[in-house]
Amino acid sequence: MLRPNKLAKQNFLSSLDLSTKEIIHILELAKNFKNKDLNIDFKNKVLGLIFDKSSTRTRVSFQVAMSRLGGTTIDLNPTTSQIGRGEPIQDTARVLSRYCDVLAIRTFNQSVLEEYAKWSSKPVVNALTDLEHPCQALADFMTMKEEFIDFENIVLTFIGDGNNVANSLILCGALLGVEVRIACPAGFEPSSVVIKKARKIYDNDHMLKICNDPASAVIGANVIYTDVWSSMGEENQKEDKDKEFQGFTVDNNLINMATRDVIIMHCLPAYRSKEITNEVIESKKSRIFEQAENRMHVQQALLSCLLS
């Protein structure tokens, strides 16, 4: 039976904070937790959650994961704590890390997360920023591994906005040797810094393709993944983006161009009939709810490594 290892780097701010070996270890641990082959007690350990944006899956899966480890969670709502009043992060982080054993933070700018990590004496986990969603990527690759076993033969096509979810899929995909293709409207490409970092990890330039044509990007794809066109914080761009993204809906036409065994993924929450059709979410090829469940198992594994 696998035991959690202490992670080399204490914080999980980016997918790149884990090595390939550490990701594989976390996915194995997560599988053991899921199969109920592993029971670890972190009684008295406390996870603090600081969420500047809404959340269903991340918040609840972290809470349940921590409770399954025997620990507890404190939900630090910025509006009822002094965080919302503008207390400096350097004060908040130093105080909270004297109470809590690990902090999971969802916020806008990656620099805010980095500031927490700078001042916290305990591990800080990225629960989503505008730049990355690395916990989501762990659950996503766990779901792909359950389906296809080996990462080497997977072609993952992401259709839509080059956002936080796309960025973490690119980085985690590069570490795991998965071919990643992104099809987005011109001007909505993933972060150029992320692309550059991923290209450095891959030993082959063809493993990461960025294009503006969903049809060509899904040929030979084993996984088709999409996310909302306007992320949290982009509410005022919704109308314009809805127009820009016409032709980028994941529908049956697109799926029929991929491999026969293609699976469909979406991190949720979804806008049915915008980035994905109702029919596709509910189809046999959809692994969207397995993916959501796996958030809990990978985060239990991640926490067990951070708390060891």
* Interaction site with ligand NVA (CB under 6 A): 128, 163-165, 227-228, 231-232, 267
Choosing from 136, 291, 299, 300, the catalytic residue is 136
Active site residue 295: yes
**Site for ligand CP, residues 2 to 21, rule: CB under 6 A:** none
3-class DSSP state of 210: strand
Active site residue 267: yes
Sign of CA dihedral 256, 258, 259, 261: negative
Closest distance to ligand CP from the beta carbon of 94 (Å)? 27
268 binds ligand CP (CB under 6 A): yes
**Strand ranges across the sheet with 124-126:** 72-76, 46-51, 102-106, 124-126
57 binds ligand CP (CB under 6 A): yes
56 binds ligand CP (CB under 6 A): yes
Choosing from 25, 57, 68, 106, the catalytic residue is 106
Closest distance to ligand NVA from the beta carbon of 227 (Å)? 5
Active site residue 136: yes
Sign of CA dihedral 224, 229, 233, 235: negative
Mode of pairing for the β-strands spanning 179-183 and 208-211: parallel
228 binds, among ligand NVA, ligand CP, none (CB under 5 to 8 A by kind): ligand NVA
267 binds ligand CP (CB under 6 A): yes
Choosing from 25, 133, 181, 287, the catalytic residue is 133
Tell me the per-residue interface mask from 155 to 194 with ligand CP, x by CB under 6 A, - otherwise: ----------------------------------------
How many residues in total does the chain contain?
A: 308
CA of residue 193 relative to chain centroid, distance: 18
Closest distance to ligand NVA from the beta carbon of 128 (Å)? 6
Q: Provide the token pair at 132.
A: 């990355």
Choosing from 100, 184, 267, 305, the catalytic residue is 267
Following DSSP, what letter does each residue of 62-105 receive, concatenated?
HHHHHHHTT-EEEEE-TTTSTTTTT--HHHHHHHHHHH-SEEEE
Active site residue 287: no
Among 105, 121, 169, 106, smallest CA distance to 142 is for 169
Nearer Cβ to ligand NVA, position 131 or 144?
131
Nearby residues of 230 by Cβ (< 8 Å), 6 or more positions away: 161, 237, 238, 241, 242
Nearer Cβ to ligand NVA, position 15 or 163?
163
SS3 content of the chain, % helix, strand, coil (to 5): 45, 15, 40
Nearer Cβ to ligand NVA, position 38 or 128?
128
Strand (E) positions, the chain?
A: 46-51, 72-76, 102-106, 124-126, 155-159, 179-183, 208-211, 223-226, 263-266
Closest distance to ligand CP from the beta carbon of 284 (Å)? 22
40 binds ligand CP (CB under 6 A): no
**Site for ligand CP, residues 121 to 150, rule: CB under 6 A:** 128, 136
Q: How many helices (H) and strands (E) does the chain have?
A: 12, 9
Provide the binding-site residues for ligand CP, judged by CB under 6 A.
Answer: 55-58, 128, 136, 267-269
Q: Please list the active-site residues.
A: 106, 133, 136, 227, 267, 295
